[in-house]
Structure 1
Amino acid sequence: MSSAPESSPPPRPRRSASVLLAEVARATQRLADAGVPSPRFDAEELAAYVHGTDRTRLHTVPDADFDARYWEAVARREAREPLQHITGRAFFRYLELKVGPGVFVPRPETESVVGWAIDAVRAMDVAEPLIVDLCTGSGAIALALAQEVPRATVHGVELDERALEWARRNASDNAEGSRVTLHQGDALTALPELSGQVDLVISNPPYIPLSEWEHVAPEARDHDPQMALFSGEDGLDVIRGLERTAHRLLRHGGMVVIEHADTQGGLVPWLFTEDGGWADAADHPDLNNRPRFATARRVAR
C-alpha cells in the first residue's frame, strides 16, 4: 500500500509593512513630486529624526508610536527648506554638526577637499602642523582637520557673526574644538600675526556667479547666507583675494586648497601663477569625477 503524499506546510502570512514605513513611502512620492533631489533618503531621515531613531531602525517603530508631526516635517521639506534646517544637524566626514538659519550647510562634495588636505598635511615633515580655514562657516572643515590630524593647530576665520556663532557651538560640542581657534574677520586680511608660518590654507569660499542666481537650488538660494554663495560676475572675486592671502600666510613649501564650482575647473589653477610665487597648481575631481578644488604650493616669489 502506497503512503499518502506528505502535505506541504501552509504558506506563512506576509508581514504587513509598519505604519511608519507606509508613510515614508507616501512621503517619498510627495518629495519626489516637489523636485527634492534625494526624496527617499530625506523621507527616511525625517522619519528617524521625528521618532528618535536612525534610518536603519525605522521598521522597529511600533505602529502605535507613529508621530503625526512627521507630516509637518515633510511639508517643510516639500517647500524646499533644507533637510538640515529641519533636523538641526549635518553630517560631515566623522562629525555631527549643528546647523540652521544663518550658516552655510556643509555639502558632501567638500569632504573630498578635506580628504586631500588631510593627506597633504600628513605627508609634510611637520610635527605639529599649523592650518588656517578661511570662510569657516559652521566650522566643518576646521573641526574635521583637527579631528583627523590630531597634532594640528587650526584657526578658522569667518566674517559673519551669525555663522560664527554656529561654529562656536560646534567647537564647544566636539572634543577637537579645543584645538580650533575661531576668529571673526575678513578672510582677505586675516591673521597677519601668522604670516609666513602656516603649513596649509584651506577654504570653501563663495564662488557662484551673480548671473547664476536663478539657477541655484532653492535650498541654497533661499536659505544659505548670500555672502556664502555669490562672488562677483564670474564667481571668482573672493578666490582672487584668497590667492593673495594664502601666499601671505603660508611658509615656503606650504600648500593651499580651495574649493570651486565644477564649471570653474581649469580656471582657478591659473590664478596661482609662477610669477605670483606658486608651483604645482592643479585641479582635482570630486567623487563624481567633476572638477571641484584647486591646489598649489607656495614658493619664493
Structure 2
Amino acid sequence: MAETLARATTDLATVGVASPRVDAELLAAYVLGVNRGRLPLIDTMRGDELRRFRELVARRARRVPLQHLLGSAAFRHRDLAVGRGVFVPRPETELLAGWGIERIRPGATVVDLCSGSGAIALAVADEAAPGRVLAVERDPAALAYLRRNAAGSAVEVVAGDVTDPDLLAGLRGAVDVLLCNPPYVPEGTAVPVEVADHDPHAAVFGGADGLVVIRPVVALAAVLLRPGGVVGIEHDDRHGTQVPDLIRADGRFTAVTAHDDLAGRPRFTTARRT
C-alpha cells in the first residue's frame, strides 16, 4: 500500500496537483470504502481495487476535480453531492456561512442567493434554528444538485435569477439574514484547470470587473432585508474596497465591514440594513 500511494503521489505532483498526497489517500480510502485514517492499517489493494484506484488517479492527473471523482464535497459538517454542472463549494465560504449562522436568531428568515449546491443554506439549516431558509439558484444543472442535497431538509429551493428585481417579492422587508456567494472572478482571470474546465463558467466569472452579479445582489438585499437585517456577500480578493464601497453607495446600509479569509485576503463584506 505504501508503494502504491507513493507512486500515485508522485504522478499527481508531476502534473501540478496542489495536494498530491492528500488526494491520493482520499482516492484510496474511497476505493477501499474506509476512512482515510485507516489506510495505515491496510497492507495492500486487491486486483479490482487497484485497477479502480489507478483509473481514478489517472483522471485526477488530468485535473478532474477530486470532488467530482468522489462525488461529494465537504462543507462544514456536511458532505454535499457535486459533479459537472455545479460549482464545488470552497473552504473559504465556510467563513461567510459561519458569520451568518452566528447572527441567526430562532425563527429567523434566511435567504441564500446563488446557492449552487446548497452549501450555505444547508449549513444554516443544520447549525442554527431559523424559521425559514430559502436557497435561490437559476441554473438547471445546479438546481438538480441543490434539490438532491436539500431533500429531506427544511431548506426551500427557489428557481430564480438574482438579477431579477422582483425575485422573492413576497418577502420584501421580511428577511433577517441574506447570504450570497455569487460569481465574482473577473473575466480573463487565470484560474486552475479544475476550475476552468469543470466548474460552470457562469458560477465563477462575474463580468469584466467581477461585479456584474454583486451589484444587483446589493440592491436586492436592500429590498428584502427588514430594518436591522444583515447581509454577507463573498467576493474576489481584489474587491476588498470595491464591494464595501458599492454597499455604502447604495445608501440603505450601515455597519459595512470587510472580512479577510484565513490567508489574510479580502473575502467577504457584511452590512446591516438601516
Do these two structures clear the TM 0.5 threshold for a shared fold by scoring above it? yes
Misfit runs of 4+, over 6 Å: none
Structure 1 residues 259 and 61, CA gap change in structure 2 (3 angstroms): same
Q: What does 1:168-179 align with in structure 2 at a 5 Å threshold?
A: 168-172=147-151, 177=153, 179=154
Q: Distance in 1 between matches of 2:237 and 2:41?
A: 41
What does 1:114-193 correspond to in 2, within 5 Å? Answer: 114-121=97-104, 126-172=105-151, 177=153, 179-189=154-164, 190-193=167-170
| Aligned with residue 202 of structure 2, among 209, 219, 227 | 227
Gaps of 5+ in 2: none
SS at match of 2:270: strand
User: Mean Cα displacement is larger for which, 195-204 or 63-72?
Assistant: 63-72
When residues 115 and 64 of structure 1 are mapped into structure 2, their CA distance, relative to the original with a 3 A threshold, is: closer
Question: TM-score under structure 1 normalisation?
Answer: 0.87
CA distance in 2, matches of 1:62, 1:33: 25
1:111 is the counterpart of 2:90:
no
1:232–1:64 CA distance, 2 compared to 1 (3 A): closer
Counterpart amino acid of 2:129? P
Equivalence for 1:254: 229
**Separation in structure 1 between the aligned mates of residue 132 and residue 19 of structure 2, nearest angstrom:** 36
With 269-278 and 250-259 compared, the bigger mean Cα shift is at 269-278
Larger radius of gyration: 1
Query: What's 2:181 paired with?
Result: 204
Q: What are the superposed Cα offsets for residues 163-217 of structure 1, whole Å, 9 maximum, x if unpaired?
A: 0110111112xx5x1x1100111012221111100001100000011121xx111
CA contact (8 A) 2:219 2:250 kept: no
For 1:238 and 1:182, locate their aligned partners in 2 and report how far apart those are by CA, in whole Å: 20
CA RMSD in angstroms comes to 1.3
> Aligned match of 1:87 in 58, 70, 74?
70
Which secondary structure state, in structure 2, belongs to the residue aligned with residue 169 of structure 1? Answer: helix
* C-alpha contact (below 8 Å) 2:106/2:128 kept by paired residues: no
Residue pair 2:107, 2:132 contacting (<8 A) in 1 also: yes
> Take 2:62 and 2:223, find their aligned partners in 1: how far apart are those partners?
44
Is 1:77 the counterpart of 2:60? The answer is: yes
Distance, in Å, in 2 between the alignment partners of 1:152 and 1:34 is: 48
TM-score by length of 2: 0.95
- What CA distance in whole angstroms lies between the structure 2 residues aligned with 1:141 and 1:275? 25
Q: Which amino acid aligns with 1:248?
A: V
Structure 1 unaligned blocks of 5 or more: 1-19
Counterpart amino acid of 1:265? Answer: G
C-alpha distance in structure 2 between counterparts of 1:218 and 1:37, whole Å? 11
Summarize deviations over 1:130-159 as a string: whole Å, max 9, x none.
000000000111000000013441000000
Matched, 1:51 2:28: no
Give 1:245's aligned residue. 220
Aligned equivalents of 1:89, 1:77: Cα separation in 2: 15
Secondary structure at the residue paired with 2:134? strand
C-alpha separation in 2, matches of 1:129 and 1:21:
51
Q: 1:284 to 1:22 in 2, by over 3 A?
A: same
Between the aligned partners of 1:64 and 1:120, the Cα distance in structure 2 is 48
Residue among 19, 28, 31 paired with 2:12:
31
Deviation at 1:62, TM superposition (A): 4.1
In structure 2, the CA distance between the partners of 1:64 and 1:89, relative to structure 1 (3 Å rule), is: closer
Q: CA deviation at 1:38?
A: 1.0
SS at match of 1:216: coil
Count of paired positions = 270
Bigger mean CA deviation after superposition, 156-165 or 112-121: 112-121
